[in-house]
Structure 1
Amino acid sequence: MSRTTPDPAPVVLLDLGPVAQLRAGRLGRRLVQLFLGLLVYGLSLALMVEGALGVAPWDVMHLAITRYVPLTLGQVVIVASFVVLLAWIPLREKPGLGTVANAFVVGLSTDAALAVLPTPDSLTLRIAFVVLGVVLNAVATAFYIGAQLGRGPRDGLMTGLARRTGASLRLVRTSLEVSVVAAGLALGGRLGAEVGAGTVLYALAIGPLAQAFLPWALVHLPAPDPVEVGIDG
């Protein structure tokens, strides 16, 4: 008799308020996973910046803003996160500990990684930095979403707009990322180093990769009201 590999457990994210998120169980594991994911997320962004072959779409705008204000990239990421959170109010998104932690930790870890990462001196190393950055970003996304402690500011903007407009998550995500890249270019973003092959790779790969990693990172919690996973690029 042939043996078959059992299907992985379904990916079920819970629609919980901030207090219910903390009471849902397995909090120690979830907190460690959340902060590890956010730290790695910041590292992944820094790798793409140092690779200088194109950064993540939102970072095109973030880097452009740094030319006009006396702030580091990480500090701009933090400020922009809280600006995005203002849009959650009319969208009635539910924040959580992970939402606030995302706003701070990703920015701080991005700056910390940029301070210690070497600048690659060959094209091969630059490509390696960018590819590693995209893969680590997907792993980090799966980790912090799988902790089920609240969406990140930009994730919540995406899911909130999709719910309010009735548009697909794919369409809303694409529209947001095209918009922030366009804004970054309008503010002086550089083709090649900031908008380049790495940006395209990120846009094409991050959704499928994060979706693939999420079943292994998801902390299963017994609670009602599952919601659609909003990372499928």
Structure 2
Amino acid sequence: MFFRRLIQLFVGLSLYGVSLALMLRANLGLDPWDVFHQGLSHRLGWSIGTVVNVIGALVLLLWWPLRQRPGLGTVLNVFVIGTAVDVTLKLLPEAHSMTERILLLPCGVALNAVATAAYIGARFGAGPRDGLMTGLVRRTGGSVRVIRTGIELCVLAIGWLLGGSVGIGTVAYALLIGPLVQVLLPILTVPEPRPALHDATAP
């Protein structure tokens, strides 16, 4: 069971990076955090995968004052997703026609939902950005909706000002990712092992 979870974690994180690359090639708008990552990438001259990994590590440092405990999935998130983005972008050619871009966008959003459900369902801990949200909720007593919306609006605004891509893809992601993950998560969650049953007649 442990190895199944580990494989699912790695595949989920890798596919998350692939999904981001698909949305980047679509060039029709990204989710809030990736608007921020793309904007920083433009300003710093780094690959977007490098930015994703570095920001993940910096956000993870914020867990310390929030007394959040990272899991294996949290740590691998910092290394795997950004690397998968850069590798995929090297292999995936630019989309030149609007038809190609329109096809890439729903593929990217759908794959992102599968990837999210897969790595969460592996039960190895939240990603750095989700852990920041849950830590702030616990420390402040605020609602998940308010804190998550506040964080995402902040990174979206900063990313847009830095030159990140905001568009129909941003809206589509915001509307679809929650319902899709909600459907997929029960399917992809690895069940907890059942405790062994002991024979009541055994000595």
* Aligned partner of 1:174 among 138, 143, 149: 149
* Aligned partner of 2:39 among 39, 58, 64: 64
User: Unpaired segments of 5 or more residues in structure 1?
Assistant: 1-25, 224-233
Q: Deviations over 1:29-48 (max 9, x none)?
A: 00000000011000000000
Other-structure match for 1:95: 70
User: 1: CA distance between counterparts of 2:53 and 2:68?
Assistant: 19
Letter in 2 for 1:32: I
Q: Deviations over 1:94-135 (max 9, x none)?
A: 101111101110000000111111222222221111111111
Other-structure match for 1:9: none
Other-structure match for 2:198: none
In the TM superposition, structure 1's runs of 4+ consecutive aligned residues that sit over 3 Å from their partners are none
Letter in 2 for 1:213: L
Letter in 1 for 2:179: P
* Aligned partner of 2:179 among 167, 187, 208: 208
* Aligned partner of 1:42 among 17, 20, 27: 17
Percent identity of paired positions between Structure 1 and Structure 2 = 55
Map 1:1-233 → 2, pairs under 5 A: 26-189=1-164, 194-222=165-193
Other-structure match for 1:229: none
Which SS does the other structure have where 1:54 is aligned?
Answer: coil
Matched residues, number: 194
Q: Deviations over 1:63-118 (max 9, x none)?
A: 11112223100000000001101111111111011111011100000001111112
Give me the TM-score of the superposition, normalised by structure 2: 0.92
Between Structure 1 and Structure 2, the one with more helix by share is 2
Give me the TM-score of the superposition, normalised by structure 1: 0.80
